[in-house]
Chains A and B, each alone.
Chain A
Amino acid sequence: MSDKDSPTGAILQRDKKTYAIVPRTPVGVVTPDVLEALARVGRKFEIPIMKITSGQRIALVGLEKEQVDQVWEDLKMDIGPAVGLCVHYVQACPGTEVCKFGLRDSLGLGLELEKMFVGKELPAKMKVGVSGCTMCCAESYVRDVGLIGKKKGWTMVVGGNASGRPRIADVLAENLTRGEAIELVGRFMDYYRDNSNKRSRSSLFVKRVGIDAVKAAIL
């Protein structure tokens, strides 16, 4: 919830004076350059609170209004959507890139989805989790769109939610190739955009229409 006077990409805080910003760190990966920028900005502006979020991002909290633009300029990073009605983030576990248990390249697929879909306008916010195995470290079953890597391919689940009205996602399709998974994520988002009520999260939408209707429409 950002008020109209808020500077770009800033969220007004409880004291009604200071702001928080959330730079975009796709699938939680922070390169040495980005790390250096965050550390430099933290030092220079004496940022009171830096908070690691559950969405694999780092929020900078307690900025004065006039600092916001300067901080963004210093960071040279994109804004991570945190309030709009769109795809906010894609989170991913390390998958086959790093993890011993990984069966699929969750980081690679997550990054590709992030580039394609973050910021895409939808009836409500959307969160995506890509896990490289069934341990589900990216919590795919409680995301609007979840992907889970298995031996035979990707399982795609939709309509999950981890909020105060939680919902476990329904399985939409199994044994997908990476290409098929990306295409199906796009089809699901379009179907949801065209058929859901404004501000109705995918969990409410899928519950209302039923997973069979979703399957019939997009598979």
Chain B
Amino acid sequence: MIPENLPKGAVAQRGGTLYSVRPRTPLGEISAEQLNVINSVVQDFNLPGVRVTAAQRLSIRGIPGEKVAEVIERLGPVGELCHYYVQACLGTTGCRLAMQDSIGLGARLEEFLNEFELPAKLKCGVSGCSMCCSESYVRDVGLVGTAKGWTVVFGGNAGKGVRKGDIIAENVSDDKALEVIGKALAFYRDNAKKKERTARFVARVGIEAVLKAL
């Protein structure tokens, strides 16, 4: 049964009778409490389990249409508050190798991005060191922590239009990094075609044009 008003955040699976939802887990962080809620929902509704996605989220699948609203109500916020996603590694919160606080800046970036209406989806990766566990070079916006601050990367993609991002700033502070990202995104917003991801956009206009706008 297809629910008449499919709740926001529910995604139809193949076949069209079952749905999946993704609880909000900003920056991939999930509390034991949240995991318990998800666990009890999976058990109570007899669902097939969850899948960990490459975007640091948990996808709860196999939900019958008529149960979707009830499941979402039990889970709390699903989908993204920020319509652009930001992933981060553990950074100085725990990792021995970290140079910068990736979770801290990742959270600020999420908030910052809410101010933008962009032509296409945007994926961001904030890595606390050059190991790049958040795969910053293949994200639309990537940040890499170094001893001297942040390296800012723009126009990367790990999907269909795979592209290595270009460096648009180096050795910058948290504030300066957000400022540079803001300028790059404003230029992208004003000049990209509808649904054109940053990778295609940068390939089309050239990185020099982006750097000039900064």
In the complex, are the beta carbons of A42 and B32 less than 8 A apart? yes
In the complex, are the beta carbons of B87 and A141 less than 8 A apart? no
* 4 extra A-B contacts, CB within 8 A, seeds A32-B48, A43-B36, A51-B56: A14-B93, A30-B58, A49-B29, A163-B131
Closest B residue by C-beta to A99: B14
Q: In the docked arrangement, what's the CA distance between A100 and B14, Å?
A: 4
Residues of B within 8 A of A61 (CB): 90, 94
Q: How far is the CB of B105 from chain A (nearest CB, A)?
A: 16
In the complex, are the beta carbons of B14 and A98 less than 8 A apart? yes
In the complex, are the beta carbons of B31 and A50 less than 8 A apart? yes
In the complex, are the beta carbons of B39 and A98 less than 8 A apart? no
Q: In the docked arrangement, what's the CA distance between A29 and B52, Å?
A: 6
Residues of B within 8 A of A134 (CB): 160
Q: How far is the CB of B149 from chain A (nearest CB, A)?
A: 15
5 smallest CB-CB distances across A and B, nearest first, come from A42-B32, A164-B130, A28-B52, A162-B135, A52-B28
In the complex, are the beta carbons of B131 and A56 less than 8 A apart? no
B2 on the A face (CB < 8 A): no
Which stretch in A33-41, A71-79, A176-184, A190-198 binds the other chain? A33-41
- B20-34 near A? 1/0 per residue, CB < 8 Å: 100001001111100
- B55-78 near A? 1/0 per residue, CB < 8 Å: 011110100000000000000000
In the complex, are the beta carbons of A14 and B35 less than 8 A apart? no
B28, B51, B54, B132: which contacts A51 (Cβ < 8 A)? Answer: B28
B159 on the A face (CB < 8 A): yes
A14, A54, A137: which contacts B95 (Cβ < 8 A)? Answer: A14
Q: In the docked arrangement, what's the CA distance between A134 and B29, Å?
A: 29
A104 on the B face (CB < 8 A): no
In the complex, are the beta carbons of B164 and A166 less than 8 A apart? yes
Closest B residue by C-beta to A138: B54
In the complex, are the beta carbons of A29 and B51 less than 8 A apart? yes
Q: In the docked arrangement, what's the CA distance between A144 and B196, Å?
A: 28
In the complex, are the beta carbons of A46 and B14 less than 8 A apart? no
How big is the A interface, by class? 35 or more
In the complex, are the beta carbons of A51 and B30 less than 8 A apart? yes
Residues of B within 8 A of A14 (CB): 92-96, 98
In the complex, are the beta carbons of B52 and A30 less than 8 A apart? yes
In the complex, are the beta carbons of A52 and B95 less than 8 A apart? no
Task: Show 20 A/B contacts (Cβ-Cβ < 8 Å), sorted by A.
Answer: A1-B96, A14-B93, A14-B94, A16-B96, A36-B39, A46-B32, A49-B94, A54-B134, A56-B53, A61-B90, A94-B51, A96-B14, A99-B14, A100-B14, A134-B160, A136-B162, A137-B54, A142-B135, A163-B137, A166-B156
Given A135-B159, A142-B162, A164-B131, CB of A51 within 8 Å of CB of B14: no
In the complex, are the beta carbons of B51 and A28 less than 8 A apart? yes
Q: How far is the CB of A216 from chain B (nearest CB, A)?
A: 25
B207 on the A face (CB < 8 A): no
Residues of A within 8 A of B156 (CB): 166
Residues of B within 8 A of A166 (CB): 132, 137-138, 156, 164
B12, B30, B96, B162: which contacts A58 (Cβ < 8 A)? Answer: B30
A211 on the B face (CB < 8 A): no
Residues of B within 8 A of A52 (CB): 25, 28-30, 52, 56-58
